[in-house]
């Protein structure tokens, strides 16, 4: 730490904290790759085993060595191997939080920000969970404890609390969610003295810890509402909690003194999306401010770290909302601490390494914190002290303050005036300057330079006017505040302290014990259960904002004006969609009519609203065991009902189902938005094989920079234009990027902004129809083609036998001219699905010719020589034939057998389905003939039919059946399967 005139110059302090494995990491049998020793953190590359070491101010081990106390608090387990190493919430607070608190008492600004990928533990450290309170609540608790201990002193303490969220470059006031909503959130403005600030942000005076908890709760509920309505994952938002602490006292001379400090506690958005690969190829990527703020933060930290090494660079604070608001924290008047939160698992190596690198850069930055007193005043006081010392020397101990002049030669009779008055004068002067500017006069800044030239004035005038008016209002507000006398402030402070805290959350928690209710499930565990709707009436209506009669209002894609009704008949609950197309899932299944609603049932309304129904009065619930429900549980359940079982063997290492579960609700939401905005576009999930993925590279927008390392199928999204029939495949990231923009469009539409629609080139639902698409691929090794008799084999639909083309010899350019007509009878839904979505697998085969000339040539050569000669050709062709190499890659034979087995299973399932379809059509056919009985031999013949011919024969047998009754003769129903057949020509 160094002293620079009036401030402490200090490096940003950096702490790294590693959390325990989470469920996902445990499920995937992740390995620990983080080590900590003293202040050193080591990360091991899981592939190369290479270690990288980082030294930070603090390294916090929260991976293991702990146990949960009865009250839920996680503390060190001294019996465990790493018990001494384990770091709990109190330790983090004592080492980081207390310093921030001490700074606040000294009148120094502080900032703490938490950086790391989603789920790495940022919120755990900053806010905390349950009994494991994080830095913010612990700091507030200690602050008020200390204030209380000073009761009776002549000091007035003012604590103001604010909470904002930055989402997609828009600032939302979490204590006043309606503020600036229509105008795209709160404006970030620059004040000549205090720097950037969010204009109009609500700052509430709080008088106790309980009150701060309540306000924080209120802010979190508002965050939850916004996140639930937009289905926006909070991990994409930055939250800034602001605590403004002022100490006002009277000095010995009876003059009022004030000392202020601002504490900013920042929970940053998950860092992993900064360079998400799949979206980089999207022409619309710029429009999505997904993480503009975060990438800007990276740039600012880079530039500041460069400055420390002597490089001159522009620090781009102005490029994002977050960096503007954090300007002081990063390069200004603040003591700053950063917590880098990391996962312990090998599967997150890349993200953890990038977090550690980010932290390493951040620790080089220096900030200069100054005690928040007026600087002129401080200089005058210092001069006065110096003059007094000289006067004492001159007069032999007698002091005459009247004679004291300051360095400018002016009398400093006012030298004892308190800081508040001085600041008031300054603010007035500033306002006069701003008024002059407003009136169109040229103004010089303090260095004498023109602030704005006359010529530029007109063009920027309106913009300036807005800014200036805002600054005027801000100054007026501050002046108003300062004008209040000390006695008034003391009175307000005393009154506020005794104000009754509402304890709204406690009341809700009590009521939940006896009244049936719905509570929200959110992907962010911090936000689950924050919104509670009590179901108290006999019939409770649920609908969107436009529904005037709704008891419960839900916002978001797919929610109808009158969406659902919950009925209570003597504590038996049911739920029913109000109209046919109102989507409601109960425990993952879509319902069409009135359905029972039981305790712990999971509900989804529209595409995004996910809730849990709780009925504390349901008889017998105390005897049953209910699984704990969170957002993942509900999503996995929906996926399982759709046939994707995360725990099913053969689901790989869990990445695939995880991606599917992430994409399914997203696709649902995109479809709902498309429907509501009439965008004529449909989205479907697709699994694309690694081979196909590499083909897509360079051919499809979005795949240019796609990660092609994958060896398992990847989840992609097919976008179908329902109007012109075109189809495009997007990587998951590109789709999610687009969805982000779709949601923005939808939110503008919801807010009834006239211009919600966008021109085609910026419309997230649009793609360039001229973009080329790849339809399918058959990799063929060319070298062999020229030397063989070649032919193709393929299977169509449920064919057992492969169809073969003619054989063509000795040409590198075989033309098969193959044609085959397929007729399928009957045209089942399964066949139609196959024709829509399935493909024909064409294989190119060849028979090797024994080349006599080659045999002659090789006569007399040793095996060694021959092997030498054949290296290349032999290895490719031979290995291709024995099947252990695919597309030039060696395939694990075990994997190959699993793939084959899977294909066989699929085939078996399709065949069984076909049998069911046959039986069903037979029954329908019999019904149409008014038959009430069918002979067993007919049933058997239909069931055993493997080919269309056999099936037709069986149906003929049914028609001619004398055992089965046939009262009315044969009537085929119009539109029944037997009237239609499908023909495919290859
Ligand atoms: N030190 C810890 N000890 C125990 N559990 C932890 C710890 N840190 C994090 N966790 C667990 O990991 C999960 C994710 O943590 P947290 O919500 O803090 O992550 P985050 O980085 O804030 O994520 P997001 O970016 O989504 O807000 C939590 O459910 C929590 O239970």
- Locate 65 and state its tokens: 């060595």
pLDDT higher than threshold 50 for residue 322 = yes
- Give the Å distance between the CA of 122 and the centre of ligand 1: 6
User: Which of 82, 121, 345 has most ligand 1 atoms within 8 Å of its beta carbon, as the pocket-test mutant?
Assistant: 121
> Before 812, cis peptide (omega within 30)?
no
- Answer yes or no: are the C-beta atoms of 234 and 223 closer than 8 Å: yes
Q: What does the DSSP 8-state code read for residue 95?
A: I
Pocket lining: 119 vs ligand 1, CB cutoff 6 Å: yes
CATH code, residues 2-369:
3.40.850.10
- Give the Å distance between the CA of 293 and the centre of ligand 1: 22
- Give the Å distance between the CA of 128 and the centre of ligand 1: 8
- Give the Å distance between the CA of 224 and the centre of ligand 1: 17
- Compute the average pLDDT of residues 63-81: 93
Pocket lining: 121 vs ligand 1, CB cutoff 6 Å: yes
Q: Which of 362-376, 535-549, 635-649, 694-708 has the lowest mean pLDDT?
A: 694-708
- Answer yes or no: are the C-beta atoms of 63 and 88 closer than 8 Å: no
Q: Exposure string (b/e) for 140-179, b if CB count within 10 Å is 16 or more?
A: bbbbbeebeeeeeeebbbbbbbbbbbbbbbbbbbbbbbeb
Pocket lining: 128 vs ligand 1, CB cutoff 6 Å: no
Residue 41's pLDDT is 96
Pairing of strands 256-267, 564-569: unpaired
Pocket lining: 233 vs ligand 1, CB cutoff 6 Å: no
123 annotated to a ligand binding site:
yes
Q: Distance (Å, rounded) from C-alpha 96 to C-alpha 135?
A: 8
777: left (phi over 0), alpha (psi -120 to 50) or beta: beta
Q: Which of 589-598, 657-666, 761-770, 837-846 has the lowest mean pLDDT?
A: 837-846
**Shortest-distance atom of ligand 1 to CA 89:** 1
117 annotated to a ligand binding site:
yes
- Answer yes or no: are the C-beta atoms of 278 and 706 closer than 8 Å: yes
Q: Which of 645-659, 708-722, 892-906, 960-974 has the lowest mean pLDDT?
A: 960-974
For atom 11 of ligand 1, the residue with the nearest CA is 121
- Answer yes or no: are the C-beta atoms of 633 and 627 closer than 8 Å: yes
For atom 6 of ligand 1, the residue with the nearest CA is 19
Pocket lining: 525 vs ligand 1, CB cutoff 6 Å: yes
191: left (phi over 0), alpha (psi -120 to 50) or beta: beta
Sheet with 366-369, edge to edge strand ranges: 2-4, 7-11, 366-369
Confidence bin at 467 (pLDDT 50/70/90): low
- Compute the average pLDDT of residues 747-757: 77
ipTM: 0.98
Q: Distance (Å, rounded) from C-alpha 669 to C-alpha 739?
A: 8
Q: What does the DSSP 8-state code read for residue 761?
A: G
Pairing of strands 110-115, 335-342: parallel
Pocket lining: 528 vs ligand 1, CB cutoff 6 Å: no
Residue 977's pLDDT is 31
Q: What are the structural domain ranges in the chain?
A: 2-369, 375-498, 515-641, 655-762, 782-813+839-897
For atom 16 of ligand 1, the residue with the nearest CA is 121
Pocket lining: 524 vs ligand 1, CB cutoff 6 Å: yes
Q: Distance (Å, rounded) from C-alpha 553 to C-alpha 4?
A: 57
Confidence bin at 419 (pLDDT 50/70/90): very low
**Shortest-distance atom of ligand 1 to CA 124:** 18
Pocket lining: 116 vs ligand 1, CB cutoff 6 Å: yes
Pocket lining: 270 vs ligand 1, CB cutoff 6 Å: yes
Pocket lining: 22 vs ligand 1, CB cutoff 6 Å: yes
Pocket lining: 367 vs ligand 1, CB cutoff 6 Å: no
Burial class (CB in 10 A: 0-12, 13-18, 19+), 495: exposed
Residue 957's pLDDT is 85
- Give the Å distance between the CA of 61 and the centre of ligand 1: 14
Confidence bin at 37 (pLDDT 50/70/90): very high
- Locate 810 and state its tokens: 């000795």
CB count within 10 Å of CB 731 equals 30
Q: Distance (Å, rounded) from C-alpha 649 to C-alpha 856?
A: 54
**Shortest-distance atom of ligand 1 to CA 524:** 26
Burial class (CB in 10 A: 0-12, 13-18, 19+), 592: exposed
Confidence bin at 980 (pLDDT 50/70/90): very low
Pocket lining: 657 vs ligand 1, CB cutoff 6 Å: no
**Shortest-distance atom of ligand 1 to CA 127:** 18
Q: Exposure string (b/e) for 28-37, b if CB count within 10 Å is 16 or more?
A: bebeebbbbe
**Shortest-distance atom of ligand 1 to CA 121:** 18
User: Which of 26, 123, 632 has most ligand 1 atoms within 8 Å of its beta carbon, as the pocket-test mutant?
Assistant: 123
Identify which of 24, 448, 521, 433 has the alpha carbon closest to the alpha carbon of residue 227: 521
- Give the Å distance between the CA of 739 and the centre of ligand 1: 26
Residue 984's pLDDT is 35
Burial class (CB in 10 A: 0-12, 13-18, 19+), 275: middle
Torsion of CA 779, 780, 783, 785, to 10 degrees: -170
Q: What does the DSSP 8-state code read for residue 94?
A: I
User: Which of 15, 16, 17, 19 has most ligand 1 atoms within 8 Å of its beta carbon, as the pocket-test mutant?
Assistant: 19
- Answer yes or no: are the C-beta atoms of 110 and 335 closer than 8 Å: yes
Q: Distance (Å, rounded) from C-alpha 297 to C-alpha 275?
A: 13
600-631, pLDDT tens digit by residue? 999 999 888 899 999 999 888 888 888 889 88
- Compute the average pLDDT of residues 65-76: 93
**Shortest-distance atom of ligand 1 to CA 17:** 1
- Answer yes or no: are the C-beta atoms of 181 and 555 closer than 8 Å: no
For atom 27 of ligand 1, the residue with the nearest CA is 235
For atom 25 of ligand 1, the residue with the nearest CA is 118
Using alpha carbons, list the distances in angstroms from residue 137 to 101, 116, 255, 301, 388. 12, 21, 34, 28, 46
- Answer yes or no: are the C-beta atoms of 713 and 726 closer than 8 Å: no
Highest mean pLDDT of the ranges 105-109, 555-559, 961-965:
105-109
**Shortest-distance atom of ligand 1 to CA 22:** 12
118 annotated to a ligand binding site:
yes
Q: What is the Cβ-side half-sphere exposure of residue 507, based on CA atoms within 13 angstroms?
A: 6
pLDDT higher than threshold 60 for residue 399 = no
What residues contact residue 748 under an 8 Å CB cut-off, 6+ apart?
Answer: 755, 756
Pocket lining: 218 vs ligand 1, CB cutoff 6 Å: no
Pocket lining: 19 vs ligand 1, CB cutoff 6 Å: yes
122 annotated to a ligand binding site:
yes
Pocket lining: 351 vs ligand 1, CB cutoff 6 Å: no
Higher pLDDT, 708 or 153: 153
pLDDT higher than threshold 70 for residue 686 = yes
CATH architecture of 515-641: Sandwich (2.60)
What residues contact residue 940 under an 8 Å CB cut-off, 6+ apart?
Answer: none
pLDDT higher than threshold 50 for residue 372 = yes
Q: Which of 135-144, 618-627, 864-873 has the lowest mean pLDDT?
A: 864-873
End-to-end CA gap in the chain: 79
- Compute the average pLDDT of residues 630-646: 80
Mean pLDDT of the chain: 76
Q: Which of 484-488, 588-592, 798-802, 931-935 has the lowest mean pLDDT?
A: 484-488
Pocket lining: 89 vs ligand 1, CB cutoff 6 Å: no
Q: Distance (Å, rounded) from C-alpha 356 to C-alpha 361?
A: 9
**Shortest-distance atom of ligand 1 to CA 118:** 25
Residue 34's pLDDT is 96
Which H helix or E strand runs over 865? helix 863-870
pLDDT higher than threshold 90 for residue 585 = yes
For atom 13 of ligand 1, the residue with the nearest CA is 119
């Amino acid at each position: 730490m160094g002293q620079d005139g009036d401030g402490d110059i200090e490096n940003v302090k950096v702490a790294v904290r590693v959390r325990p494995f989470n469920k996902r990491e445990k499920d995937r049998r992740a390995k620990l790759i983080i080590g900590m020793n003293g202040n050193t953190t080591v990360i091991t590359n899981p592939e190369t085993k290479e270690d990288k070491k980082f030294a930070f101010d603090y390294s916090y081990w929260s991976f293991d060595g702990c146990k949960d106390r009865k009250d839920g608090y996680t503390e060190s387990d001294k019996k465990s191997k790493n018990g001494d190493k384990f770091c709990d919430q109190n330790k983090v607070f004592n080492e980081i939080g207390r310093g921030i608190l001490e700074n606040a008492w000294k009148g120094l600004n502080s900032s703490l920000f938490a950086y790391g990928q989603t789920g790495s533990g940022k919120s755990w450290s900053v806010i905390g969970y349950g009994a494991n309170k994080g830095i913010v609540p612990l700091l507030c608790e200690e602050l008020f404890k200390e204030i209380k201990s000073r009761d009776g002193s002549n000091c007035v303490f003012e604590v103001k609390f604010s909470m904002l969220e930055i989402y997609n470059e828009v600032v939302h006031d979490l204590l006043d969610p309606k503020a600036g909503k229509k105008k795209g959130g709160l404006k970030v403005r620059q004040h000549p003295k205090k720097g950037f600030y969010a204009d109009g942000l609500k700052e509430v005076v709080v008088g106790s810890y309980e009150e701060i908890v309540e306000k924080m709760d209120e802010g979190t509920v508002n965050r939850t509402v916004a996140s639930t309505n937009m289905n926006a994952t909070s991990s994409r938002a930055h939250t800034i909690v602001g605590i403004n602490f002022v100490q006002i006292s009277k000095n010995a001379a009876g003059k009022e003194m004030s000392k202020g400090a601002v504490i900013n506690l920042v929970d940053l958005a998950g860092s992993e999306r900064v360079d998400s690969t799949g979206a980089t190829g999207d022409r619309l990527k710029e429009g999505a401010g997904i993480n503009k703020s975060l990438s800007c933060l990276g740039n600012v930290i880079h530039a500041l770290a460069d400055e420390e090494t002597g490089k001159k660079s522009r620090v781009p604070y102005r490029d994002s909302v977050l960096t503007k608001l954090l300007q002081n924290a990063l390069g200004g008047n603040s003591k700053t601490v950063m917590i880098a939160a990391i996962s312990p698992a090998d599967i997150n190596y890349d993200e953890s390494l990038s977090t550690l690198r980010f932290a390493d850069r951040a620790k080089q930055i220096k900030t200069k914190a100054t005690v928040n007193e007026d600087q002129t005043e401080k200089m005058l006081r210092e001069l006065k002290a110096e003059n007094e010392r000289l006067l004492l020397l001159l007069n032999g101990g007698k002091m005459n303050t009247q004679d004291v002049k300051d360095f400018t030669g002016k009398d400093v009779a006012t030298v004892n005036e308190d800081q508040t008055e001085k600041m008031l004068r300054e603010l007035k002067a500033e306002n006069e300057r701003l008024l002059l500017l407003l009136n169109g006069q040229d103004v010089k800044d303090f260095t004498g330079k023109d602030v704005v030239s006359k010529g530029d004035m007109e063009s920027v005038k309106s913009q300036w006017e807005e800014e200036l008016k805002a600054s005027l209002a801000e100054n007026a507000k501050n002046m108003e505040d300062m004008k209040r006398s000390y006695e008034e402030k003391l009175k307000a402070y005393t009154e506020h302290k005794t104000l009754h805290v509402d304890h709204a959350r406690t009341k809700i928690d009590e009521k939940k014990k006896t009244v049936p209710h719905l509570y929200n499930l959110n992907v962010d565990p911090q936000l689950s259960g924050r919104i509670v709707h009590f179901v108290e009436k006999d019939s409770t209506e649920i609908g969107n904002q436009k529904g005037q009669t709704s008891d419960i209002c839900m916002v978001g894609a797919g929610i109808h004006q009158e969406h659902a009704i919950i009925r209570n008949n003597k504590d038996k609950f049911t739920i029913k969609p109000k109209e046919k197309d109102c989507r409601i899932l109960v425990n993952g299944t879509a319902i069409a009519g009135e359905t029972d609603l039981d305790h712990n049932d999971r509900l989804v309304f529209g595409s995004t609203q996910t809730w849990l129904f709780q009925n504390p009065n349901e008889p017998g619930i105390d005897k049953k065991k209910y699984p704990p429900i969170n957002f993942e549980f509900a999503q996995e359940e929906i996926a399982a009902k759709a046939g994707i079982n995360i725990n099913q063997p053969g689901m790989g290492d869990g990445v695939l189902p995880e991606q599917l579960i992430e994409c399914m609700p997203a696709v649902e939401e995109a479809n709902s938005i498309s429907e509501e905005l009439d965008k004529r576009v449909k989205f479907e999930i697709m699994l694309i094989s690694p081979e196909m993925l590499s083909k897509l590279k360079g051919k499809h927008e979005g795949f240019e920079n796609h990660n092609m390392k994958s060896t398992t199928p990847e989840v992609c999204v097919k976008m179908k234009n329902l109007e012109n029939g075109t189809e495009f495949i997007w990587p998951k990231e590109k789709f999610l990027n687009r969805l982000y923009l779709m949601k923005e469009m939808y939110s503008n539409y919801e807010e009834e902004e006239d211009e919600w629609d966008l021109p085609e080139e910026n419309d997230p639902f649009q793609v360039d129809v001229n973009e080329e698409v790849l339809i399918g691929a058959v990799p063929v090794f060319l070298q062999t083609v020229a030397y063989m008799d070649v032919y193709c084999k393929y299977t169509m639909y449920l064919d057992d036998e492969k169809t073969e083309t003619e054989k063509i010899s000795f040409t590198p350019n075989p033309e098969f001219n193959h044609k085959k007509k397929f007729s399928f009878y009957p045209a089942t839904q399964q066949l139609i699905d196959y024709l829509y979505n399935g493909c024909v697998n064409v294989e190119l085969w060849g028979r090797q010719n024994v080349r006599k000339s080659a045999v002659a040539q090789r006569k007399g050569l040793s095996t060694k020589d021959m092997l030498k000669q054949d290296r290349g050709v032999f290895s490719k062709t031979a290995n291709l034939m024995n099947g252990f190499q695919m597309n030039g890659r060696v395939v694990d034979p075990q994997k190959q057998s699993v793939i084959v087995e899977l294909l066989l299973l699929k085939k078996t399932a399709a065949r069984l389905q076909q049998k069911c379809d046959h039986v069903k059509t037979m029954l329908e056919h019999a019904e149409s003939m008014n038959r009430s009985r069918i002979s067993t031999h007919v049933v058997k013949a239909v069931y055993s039919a493997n080919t269309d011919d056999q099936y037709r024969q069986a149906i003929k047998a049914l028609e001619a059946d004398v055992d089965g009754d046939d009262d009315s003769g044969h009537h085929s129903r119009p539109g029944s399967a037997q009237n239609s057949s499908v023909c495919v020509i290859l």
